[in-house]
Structure 1
Amino acid sequence: MTDLASRPDVAVIDVHNPANGRTVGTVPIHSAETVAARARELRVAQPEWEAMGPRGRKRWLLAFQEWVLDNAERLADVLQSETGKTRAEASAEPTCVADSLNYWSGHAERFLADERPASLNPLTITKKLTTAYRPYPVVGVITPWNFPFVMPGMDVIPALAAGAAVLLKPSEVTPLSAVEFARGWAEVGAPPVLAVCTGLGETGAALIDNVDYLQFTGSTATGRKVAVACAERLLPFSLELGGKDPAVVLADADLERAANGIAWGGLFNSGQVCVSVERVYVEAPVYDAFVSRLAQTVSGLRQGEDDRGYRFDVGALATAAQRDIVARHVDSAVAAGARVLTGGKPTGVGTFFEPTVLVDVDHSMACMTEETFGPTLPVMKVADEDEAVRLANDSPYGLSATVWTADLERGERIARRLDAGAVNINDAMSNVFSYAVPMGGWKNSGVGARYGGAAGVLKYCRPQAITTPRMPTPKKELIWYPVSRRRSRFAFGMVRAAAARGRRRLG
């Protein structure tokens, strides 16, 4: 890839390691013409891929899984080079993709099977009803910079399992992992139904112009623009957008587990997770004890540029701009009266920002209302469960939430009061690893969802209704032309008798 830089006729993106600023690779900026050409090539290859059926596609998905596992260490190297992640976080991505390949390839046949609903209408009782699922020919997937290998795994794989071809556009900040993703698909000899286009916003816009369905993951602001572009084409889409996920810690919670879980749930990937814990509400009786435990846990985390040795817990932020957002949220909170218990500033190296715990915060502060997407944990004292729920719901976002309590029944009751697409009780982010349940946001956090068992594959399909006679057919149906009073009254009288109640059934 790096030889592209020597070609003046090719516009390129230099990819940098945010932990140290070094250039680690180069990718081309693909033009609208290139995007359109790749979409046309995918359309040519897709019918054969669909015709293979789920069993035929499973073979290639599992071959790709073997490639991912065989190349996991090298993939982790690439991930670290362009994201500044720790080794543990980078190593998790290929493993999660392998798990995703196993799930969708193993369940697609059952999920995509024709459905045979019963007919309850007298006019169609002689028909066999079938719902078949046909994939969108070309699915477009636009992925963000925070998980550059696992995000394609979350969205590309179920689309391929459904029988679609996929055109992938990764973030310009971290495109190298997506290039490796496509390289692996090609290296196992799989059919040419996966292509990558790298570039900036114009490349993404061209992708929207050339696909039949779009899955987008990114900020709410960009998601709104994407939705408008899709609406102009009447293009179906699914959006996973921003979050400001609350944690509710009740007085009966296991405080040690809550502190450990919230620290991990808020600081994993330096807090750059859509479902990161970004604000914490703690019942007054245990507030002091909880914040003490949390600050102790966070202050003990190891931060730095990692190698293959798993030496650090928290890595760098993906961009200097993201680091500056985190600094602004912390500084403005402190200026408004918040206190820093640990962390609170950039380290002065690369894009690292110290893992931070803030207290004495409220909803007048950006750290509690705007998406931070960084290693901060602002904690607020609440009087009781009702105040915690009210404040947790006082947000334009609704991606996920966590509840910490010893009473699981109470935890589920509170979960049903929270305005969020997912609620984890006594855990953080566990729904992300559960393909059988949907992962989608409410309010400004998105439209639609990924995962959800069968729904995770069927979202990439168009349902098709097929009616077939169950028995020999007459030359003419009762309600066909020419209109007859006797036949019409008889036909719709049967419908009325089946549908109405009491005397009204008799007409």
Structure 2
Amino acid sequence: FPGVGDLFKGQFVDRVATIAAGLRVGAQEDAQLGPITMPSQVEIIRKHITDAVERGGKAVVGGPESVRPPFVHPVVLTDVPEDSAAMTEETFGPTITINRVRDLEEAVAKANATRYGLGSAVYTRSTSKAMEIARRLRSGMTSINSVQTYAMVGALPFGGLGDSGFGRIHGPDGLREFAAAKSIARQKYRMPLPLLSFARKPRHMKLVMWVVRLLHGRGR
């Protein structure tokens, strides 16, 4: 969900609403949005939209009536409660929630509050600020001043954090997913102390503790 400062919220919402309202939905050749891939997801989308509106959110474009199985027309929601289903669960539908934030710190905090963490995006004129925010966002991928461009770079690992899944595809990390790491240790020299067997004596442990305190103890 986008976090938008008070100064820009009005014009940002208007721009998003104009684009969303103009999208063509259907099965025709020139359609921009087709049917929902999984039929069972339609009711989840309806539930999220209805919950958001009933709890005080504003439907700028569409609403519950936008759900027309197997299609769902674009829905733009604003001022949606942070604990609503539309904000805390994955909708997987053509909906977008836009909430106002006071500043950058609140935006990052709210973005990181979700249990999901697949992709994120940062829009700013400052490259240094964009990199700072990108590093702070708890997500597997972040695009700057673009939409999901990380998915277009085959050398970059693709994957999320938290409940957004585990593992990676693409890049070296993706190749490692097809391998199983295994550790093999071969003893080259005889150990001076039998620490890893029942042959060890109390004096051996005392010696080890003395060495540890000598090397890593406080006041060293």
Counterparts of 1:343-358 in structure 2, within 5 Å, are 343-346=62-65, 350-358=69-77
Structure 1 residues 339 and 465, CA gap change in structure 2 (3 angstroms): closer
The CA deviation at 1:395 is: 0.7
Contact in 1 for aligned 2:119/2:139 (Cα 8 Å): yes
Contact in 1 for aligned 2:36/2:71 (Cα 8 Å): yes
Question: How many angstroms apart in 2 are the aligned matches of 1:381 and 1:348?
Answer: 26
Question: How many angstroms apart in 1 are the aligned matches of 2:166 and 2:154?
Answer: 18
The CA deviation at 1:479 is: 3.7
RMSD: 2.3
Structure 1 residues 293 and 460, CA gap change in structure 2 (3 angstroms): same
Question: How many angstroms apart in 1 are the aligned matches of 2:111 and 2:84?
Answer: 14
Counterparts of 1:177-188 in structure 2, within 5 Å, are none
Question: How many angstroms apart in 1 are the aligned matches of 2:71 and 2:13?
Answer: 23
Question: How many angstroms apart in 2 are the aligned matches of 1:441 and 1:364?
Answer: 22
Contact in 2 for aligned 1:346/1:352 (Cα 8 Å): no
Question: How many angstroms apart in 1 are the aligned matches of 2:176 and 2:111?
Answer: 32
In the alignment, what sits opposite 1:401? 120
Partner-residue secondary structure (3-state), 2:121: strand
The CA deviation at 1:439 is: 1.2
In the alignment, what sits opposite 2:206? none
Instruction: Find out whether 1:301 has 2:20 as its counterpart.
Output: no
Structure 1 residues 361 and 465, CA gap change in structure 2 (3 angstroms): closer
- TM-score for the superposition, normalised by structure 2: 0.79
Contact in 2 for aligned 1:301/1:314 (Cα 8 Å): yes
Partner-residue secondary structure (3-state), 2:77: strand
Deviation digits for residues 166-207 of structure 1, max 9, x if unmatched?
xxxxxxxxxxxxxxxxxxxxxxxxxxxxxxxxxxxxxxxxxx
Structure 1 residues 305 and 462, CA gap change in structure 2 (3 angstroms): same
Greater helix share, structure number: 1
The one-letter code sitting in structure 2 at the alignment partner of 1:298 is A
In the alignment, what sits opposite 2:174? 456
Structure 2 residues without counterparts, runs of 5 or longer: 191-214, 216-220
Q: Which moved more, 1:375-384 or 1:346-355?
A: 346-355
Question: How many angstroms apart in 2 are the aligned matches of 1:458 and 1:359?
Answer: 41
In the alignment, what sits opposite 2:149? 430
In the alignment, what sits opposite 1:329? 48
In the alignment, what sits opposite 2:61? 342
Contact in 2 for aligned 1:403/1:415 (Cα 8 Å): yes
Instruction: Find out whether 1:367 has 2:62 as its counterpart.
Output: no
Question: How many angstroms apart in 1 are the aligned matches of 2:96 and 2:175?
Answer: 35
The one-letter code sitting in structure 1 at the alignment partner of 2:164 is S
The CA deviation at 1:466 is: 9.6
Partner-residue secondary structure (3-state), 1:341: strand
Question: How many angstroms apart in 2 are the aligned matches of 1:348 and 1:444?
Answer: 26
Contact in 1 for aligned 2:56/2:81 (Cα 8 Å): no
Structure 1 residues without counterparts, runs of 5 or longer: 1-278, 468-476, 481-503
Counterparts of 1:43-54 in structure 2, within 5 Å, are none
Deviation digits for residues 404-443 of structure 1, max 9, x if unmatched?
1111210110011111111111111111121211112112
Question: How many angstroms apart in 1 are the aligned matches of 2:126 and 2:32?
Answer: 31
The one-letter code sitting in structure 2 at the alignment partner of 1:367 is A
Instruction: Find out whether 1:282 has 2:4 as its counterpart.
Output: yes
The one-letter code sitting in structure 1 at the alignment partner of 2:95 is T
Deviation digits for residues 319-357 of structure 1, max 9, x if unmatched?
332111111111111111111111223557541111010
Question: How many angstroms apart in 2 are the aligned matches of 1:296 and 1:417?
Answer: 31
Question: How many angstroms apart in 2 are the aligned matches of 1:438 and 1:348?
Answer: 35
How many percent of aligned residue pairs carry the same amino acid?
34
Contact in 2 for aligned 1:345/1:353 (Cα 8 Å): no
Contact in 2 for aligned 1:345/1:354 (Cα 8 Å): no
The one-letter code sitting in structure 2 at the alignment partner of 1:329 is H
Contact in 2 for aligned 1:316/1:351 (Cα 8 Å): yes
Contact in 1 for aligned 2:78/2:97 (Cα 8 Å): yes
Q: Which has the higher contact order (CA 8 A, sep 6+)?
A: 1
